[in-house]
Amino acid sequence: MAKILIVDDEELLVKGLKRSLESEGFETDTAYTGSQALEKSLNQHFDLIILDLMLPEIDGFEVFRRVRQVSQVPVIMVTAKGEDVDKIIGLELGADDYLAKPFNTRELIARIKAVLRRSSGQDTDLRSSNTGLIRAGANVMLNVSRRTVSVEGKEIDTLTAKEFDLLLLLAKHPGQIFTREDLIRLVWGYDYVGEDRTVDVHIRRLRDKIEPDPAHPRYVQTKWGVGYYFQTENTP
């Protein structure tokens, strides 16, 4: 079962989450400061980190930046602020999800399970019937079982779980336009009402990583006022 690090300076909240997660079968560890979170996350293996942004000693954003320098472990950011600017900054950094306090523990558990499914490649909505290769046009190759992407023969090893899932969905249906609501439903896998800007952030990050010129994308195209689609040389 997955091992989860809970990082928050609210002791009662941490204890409650620890009990709830362990009752679901997860193994847990805890940290109450940014320094503790860094020490544990950099020296132990975790399958997912729940990271509060407002931490003593080192804030959650800095913890996240330093963890991301060495690991792509899935991270769900948590904050009491709930402001769009914090949400977008967190997603820009590469967080896998974001939840504002106060939140329902059952919702957090559902999101944890969704993120773990995506990071392990077990989300059946996004996987082909086999675990082989998907060629998207002449230049983009996705290895479904390894969850890797090559563009023009060069492997791109910086994609997060969500970025890979977005690309996989679009590449499997070249030319099909997906609205933001479609992508939220198919990639995030749960009700994400009011967070359609999340899709724009992830699409922008995906383009930064796979496009030769992100300002003039070759692969992930925008249908203005509608949504996004994958362009190949055969796409009308």
What is the pTM (predicted TM-score) of this model? 0.60
- SS3 at position 192: coil
Tell me the CATH number at 51.
3.40.50.2300
Look at residue 124 in the predicted model and tell me its pLDDT.
39
Same domain, 59 and 111: yes
In a domain, 236, yes or no: no
Q: What is the pLDDT of residue 57?
A: 93
Residues of the chain with pLDDT under 50: 122-131, 191-194
Domain boundary residue, one of 65, 93, 120: 120
The tally of domains found in the chain comes to 2
Last residue of a domain, one of 120, 146, 172: 120
C-alpha distances (whole Å) from 230 to each of 1, 26, 84, 227 are 36, 37, 28, 11
What integer pLDDT is reported at residue 89 of this predicted model? 64
**What average pLDDT is seen over the chain?**
83
Residue 88: φ, ψ to 5° = -65, -40
- Same domain (yes/no): 46, 154: no
Structural domain range at position 15: 3-120
138: left (phi over 0), alpha (psi -120 to 50) or beta: alpha
Angle at 157 between CA 172 and CA 226, to 5 degrees: 40
Query: What's the pLDDT tens digit per position in 94-149?
Result: 777 888 888 889 989 988 988 887 676 544 333 333 446 788 877 898 888 778 89
**Nearest CA to 72 among 118, 33, 35, 30?**
118
pLDDT at 137: 75
Cα of 215 vs its chain's centroid, Å? 23
Give me the pLDDT at residue 185, please: 75
Residue that is last in its domain, among 120, 142, 175? 120
For position 192, what pLDDT does the model report? Answer: 47
